[in-house]
Chain A
Amino acid sequence: MDLFLETQNLTKTFGGVAAIFNLSFATRKGSVYSVIGPNGAGKTTLFNLLTGIYKPTSGAIRFAGSSIVGQPPHKISRLGISRTFQTPQIFLNMTVLENTLVGCHSHGTSGFFSAAISSPQSRREAARLKEQAMENLRFCGLDHLAQRDSDALPYGELKRLEVARALSTKPKLLLMDEPAAGLNDSETSKMGELIQGIQKLGISVMLVEHNMALVMAVSDELLVLNYGEYLAEGTPEQIQKNQKVIDAYLGMGDENDDLFD
């Protein structure tokens, strides 16, 4: 077994209330691993813990064999974990290409001084990073919009821009927070293809998503959370048959999460 990202007894409390409680799980390298659960199950909190935006109250997080607890987000990003956000955190003051170029930040080395005097080395580097960024835009089908201001993009393209930008950090693991939220059917299926394409590049994916059709189609394994706690883990088929999961979802009443679509 090739364990990639694992947590042990991970707990995060806000003012005494546990958003994540005693959570242990492990993902495999190269897989698409999805986290599902009703609203408020702690999925986004989990992502914020994994990326260093929150510090866990207790518990361990290991990535590719070493602990990443207490590391600041930019270090975790440089270790190879990148992410997209539920509400896109696009730099709306920049063009599409510039957004993607920021993703290349840690693959450049030229500092303030060589940038300010526009040294040949920094210009060569800029050209190289631009090449990379364009490649990622092409991969996400956005290359024709490269020079467009990002605040003028439709929502679906903003979501794909976030993916292109995250890929530019050359991640080993990509966390995607509700990539299909707010997308229409054709945009959603495009996003599904994109996720599978990312997996083919050899990048592991961890997915939080409410659209069960998409989750079941792309996931190798699922983790079900309920009120911040572990409920079940398994392949899509196992999860669909799991009685605890069925009970939890039925208990939610008419949620928009249609597990058995």
Chain B
Amino acid sequence: MNRYRGFFVLALIIIIAPIIFPDSYFVTVVGVTIALNALVAVGLNLLMGYTGQISLGHAAFFGIGAYSSGLLTTMFSWNPWFALLMGLLVTWLVAEIIARPILRLKGHYLAMATLGFGIIINILMVQPTHITGGPDGLSDIPVLNILGWDIDSDIRWYIVANGALLLGVWLALNLINSRIGLALRAVHGSEVGAQMMGVDIERIKIRIFVVSALFAAFAGSLFAHQQAFISPDSFSFHFSIELVVMVVLGGMASNYGPIFGAAVLTMLPETLVVFEDYEVLILGAIMMGIMIFLPQGLWVGLSQKIKPLFLNKATSSVESVGG
């Protein structure tokens, strides 16, 4: 079906990459980080790109997932899968509580509130040193085990992380193409219009906020097991910003844009190792440049420029936002 075409292309790329480059650091190691970041970005895009609600605090949910898994498996020796489920449950609860008052806010106020929330959660990871290990974080997080297989090698992590990504993309695709997805996009288009069509905008905003938080928490749990070590630095305001950049770099309101954005942004520091000190500078320049010159993002912006070359003029509409 048409809807899944991009999905199959993505799956194909994910499967072929390690076959062609079996020993490439960029595929089997960086590829795992890309997949996990992309999973968070796809979830954030549901909230930001489709529903039009910005969050500058999504690193917090990624962190809640990671810390739940880390704490429960190291301190209480929980089975990693139960810890992961618990992480999702805690995230659900936190997101549900915070969403109600936060999503009543709009624009700059919403940005500021989500940012403040993210920073508070980050401080809660640093301060209670006796529980969270403070700035040093948690180490010796056990490996994940799937049906007797220990996920302890690069290639196994590649499979798990990208499998999770594909699952996430598939869910997001279905959601966006459903009655719920239309309502979400309607909220972005016109809140008054959506309300008059019977959409309970307050409720649906809360729901999608929770869903996108769950995407982040799931990726966070996997991240904790993959790294075997976590510290608050990975879940700071800076990471929240990077997530937003992944979404807008690729292009909002497109399911593949955020994956593209995550890939670019994750590869960037790896390829710029020589210019390590320039990394921050370049990130800032990218953010400004994209927003000023290609506000729809690289993915959407470029695909719109390319599309007319393949379609004949009568059927193409250059203004359209790719799905």
Contacts and interface: CB of A to CB of B under 8 A. Distances in A.
> How would you classify the secondary structure of chain B's contact residues: helix, strand, loop or mixed?
helix
A91 B195 contact: no
Contacts of A118: 174, 178
A190 B295 CA distance: 39
Contacts of B321: 93
A204 B171 CA distance: 41
B196 A117 contact: no
A115 B181 contact: yes
Contacts of A116: 171-172, 174-175, 178
B197 A165 contact: yes
B216 to A, nearest CB: 16
Interface residues of B, number: 32
Given A90-B190, A116-B171, A103 B197 contact: yes
Given A51-B196, A93-B253, A94-B189, A111 B182 contact: no
Contact of A101 (B182, B195, B201, B320): B182
Contacts of B195: 53, 72-74, 77
Contact of B179 (A117, A129, A151, A169): A129
Nearest to A73: B195
B200 interface: yes
B194 interface: yes
A110 B320 CA distance: 28
Contacts of B186: 91, 94, 102, 105
A152 B317 CA distance: 8
Given A105-B183, A115-B174, A115-B179, A89 B190 contact: yes
Contacts of A122: 178-179
A105 B175 CA distance: 14
Given A78-B198, A94-B186, A129-B179, 18 more contacts: A51-B196, A74-B196, A74-B198, A77-B198, A82-B197, A89-B192, A89-B193, A91-B186, A93-B321, A101-B182, A102-B182, A102-B194, A106-B198, A110-B179, A112-B211, A116-B172, A149-B317, A169-B198
The 7 closest A-B pairs by CB, nearest first: A91-B189, A89-B193, A106-B198, A115-B178, A73-B195, A118-B174, A77-B198
9 contacts: A78-B198, A82-B197, A89-B193, A93-B321, A101-B179, A102-B194, A104-B179, A151-B319, A166-B197
